[in-house]
Structure 1
Amino acid sequence: MTRPVRKPYDLTPYDLTPYVLTVDAGLRDLRAADHLLRTFAAELPLSGGGFGCTHLVRGERPRVVVSLAPESGEELDDVRTRLVAMGYEVTEGAPDAVGRAVLYRGADVLRGTLSIEEVLSVSAIDRVAVLGAPGRPDPSVRLVTHSHVRPLWQSGELVLTAMPAVGGTLVPFEVPDPTPCCADH
């Protein structure tokens, strides 16, 4: 039996890294999920080539879950064992194909202001897309990171969405400390 040919839009981030676990810690917001992923990065044997993503779960019990995609099956087994021992609910696989990456190769060096070319060369980010602009930005355009770069998986690519900023620079669309809706009411 032949396998169906997969189209680029069918690919998930985990086709690239097939070892995936999802942790449901009952979190309600992205900031708490980011913190949990950074805690996992510090406490678990995760190599720098894997991924840690957040996923929004809708339905009767809306929440944010996290997925961890280590580089190897051995790492996955060790991570699963440690997470279960820590009391976390762990399931195999990813909850969806559109995770928001927090842990990825190069995330720790995306600080300050870098050119698009530098962002793409030092990290796992495949592409930068600018809101409202066709095509890709010039590789020399500068990105002011605010030390908060959260690309999303889109059709099997890790894509950072950016928006124009002062002086012809770009900034990531997601800001580190967003103002809550209706904060002035």
Structure 2
Amino acid sequence: MTPPPYALRVDTDVTELREADHLLQDLAGGLGLPDDAFGCTHLVGDGDRRRVGLSLAAGSRAVVDAARTRLTARGHTVADGTWDEAGRAVLFPGAAALTGTLTVAELLDRSAIDRVRVLGAQGGPDPGARLVTREFVRPRWEHGELVLAAMPAAGGTLVPFEVPDPTPCCADH
């Protein structure tokens, strides 16, 4: 799947991915976006101002224009386009169906994800390989494809590389 042609970016003061995920979900929930819309996070660094920007994309200019109007009315800074071509998808077609344990083939069939890449492995995973979603699937755009990075886990399963509740660096100090 290629990224939708119409997009807008939302500037934020958010600095943590988890907080950006929640903000994106909250904003999108009030916009009435269609099921084929995408919502991504982007790491943005303008000099000393580092933050997580958001983008929304859809196949319809009318959808994006309506979102822009609503977001601007709520005081958000909005511009056309995305921050970059490598957004981390939080909202994407089929995301809600990616729960529990699925085969790689089921994951690809149920969602907009184009490919699963297993870290440290040559080639793609077996379509029958089981993937434990942990109800947290965050694929990234890579060269126009939506790709989920996964890693081997217990019992011969796979899990998404990004974990839902990461341990902060130096948490034990």
Question: What TM-score do the two structures reach when normalised by structure 1?
Answer: 0.90
Q: 1-side partners of 2:168 and 2:14: how far apart? A: 18
Percent of pairs with identical residues: 60
1:6 counterpart residue number: none
Aligned: 1:40 with 2:33: no
2:52 counterpart residue number: 64
2:38 counterpart residue number: 51
1:7 counterpart residue number: none
State whether residues 25 and 65 of structure 1, in contact with CA within 8 Å, keep that contact through their aligned partners in structure 2.
yes
Question: Which of 94, 100, 115 is the matching residue for 2:88?
Answer: 100
2:15 counterpart residue number: 28
Q: 1-side partners of 2:172 and 2:3: how far apart? A: 44
Q: Following TM superposition, by how much is the alpha carbon of 1:41 offset from its aligned partner in structure 2, in angstroms?
A: 2.4
Q: Partner of 2:79: helix, strand, or coil?
A: strand
Q: Following TM superposition, by how much is the alpha carbon of 1:122 offset from its aligned partner in structure 2, in angstroms?
A: 0.3
Farther-moved stretch of structure 1 (118-127 vs 43-52):
43-52
2:63 counterpart residue number: 75
- Structure 2's unaligned 5+ residue stretches are none
Aligned: 1:150 with 2:138: yes
One-letter amino acid of the counterpart of residue 57, structure 1: V
One-letter amino acid of the counterpart of residue 40, structure 1: L
Q: 2-side partners of 1:67 and 1:38: how far apart? A: 11
Q: Following TM superposition, by how much is the alpha carbon of 1:118 offset from its aligned partner in structure 2, in angstroms?
A: 0.3
- Structure 1's unaligned 5+ residue stretches are 1-12
Aligned residues: 172
One-letter amino acid of the counterpart of residue 130, structure 2: R
Q: Partner of 1:62: helix, strand, or coil?
A: strand
Report Cα offsets for 1:6-41 as digits up to 9, x if no partner. xxxxxxx8x631111100121111011100111122
One-letter amino acid of the counterpart of residue 17, structure 2: L
Q: Partner of 1:27: helix, strand, or coil?
A: coil
Moved over 4 A (4+): none
Q: Following TM superposition, by how much is the alpha carbon of 1:70 offset from its aligned partner in structure 2, in angstroms?
A: 2.1
Question: What TM-score do the two structures reach when normalised by structure 2?
Answer: 0.97
Q: Partner of 1:32: helix, strand, or coil?
A: helix
The two structures, once aligned, show a CA RMSD in angstroms of 1.1
